[in-house]
């Protein structure tokens, strides 16, 4: 099963920009790609999503760079999670129901309720953490 790491990579990039605010606040996509150890084209795709969500500002061209569009204290992890359209907490299988099995006929509906509660709890937790908290944590010795 493929794992989607776009959210954690987006948080990594945003934290790098947050730390980068100490030096003029701008970084190139190549600098971010080096920090993440990912292809610059992938980083630019993630930056595009973050930009559309109003979390980063980008400037294209020869002197292109990006920076946080808001103060780190005003950006939550939920903002980043939603910006990159990260997958839900878990996935429910799509295998066909076996009509002769009560569990098979009811498991998806039952698990959807669990998923909804789990997702809401996770999103509430992410909303309670700012990018500034992460940046400050990384500054500690």
pLDDT one-digit tens code per residue, 81-140: 999 999 898 889 989 999 999 999 999 999 999 999 999 999 999 999 999 999 998 887
Residue 23 burial (10 A CB sphere; 0-12, 13-18, 19+):
exposed
- pLDDT value of residue 63: 72
Q: How many degrees, rounded to 5, is the angle at CA 79 between CA 74 and CA 82?
A: 175
All domains of the chain in start order, with CATH: 6-88+130-139 (1.10.10.10)
């Amino acid at each position: 099963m493929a794992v989607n790491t776009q959210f954690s990579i987006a948080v990594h990039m945003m934290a790098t920009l947050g730390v980068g605010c100490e030096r003029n606040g701008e970084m190139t996509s190549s600098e971010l790609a080096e920090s993440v150890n990912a292809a610059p084209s992938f980083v630019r795709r993630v930056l595009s999503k973050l930009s559309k969500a109003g979390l980063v500002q980008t400037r294209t061209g020869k002197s292109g760079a990006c920076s946080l569009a808001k103060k780190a204290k005003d950006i939550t992890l939920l903002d980043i999670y939603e910006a990159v359209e990260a997958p839900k907490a878990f996935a429910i299988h799509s295998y066909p129901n076996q009509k002769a099995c009560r569990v098979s006929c009811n498991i998806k509906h039952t698990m959807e309720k669990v998923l909804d509660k789990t997702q809401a709890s996770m999103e509430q937790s992410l909303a309670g953490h700012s990018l500034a908290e992460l940046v400050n944590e990384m500054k500690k010795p």
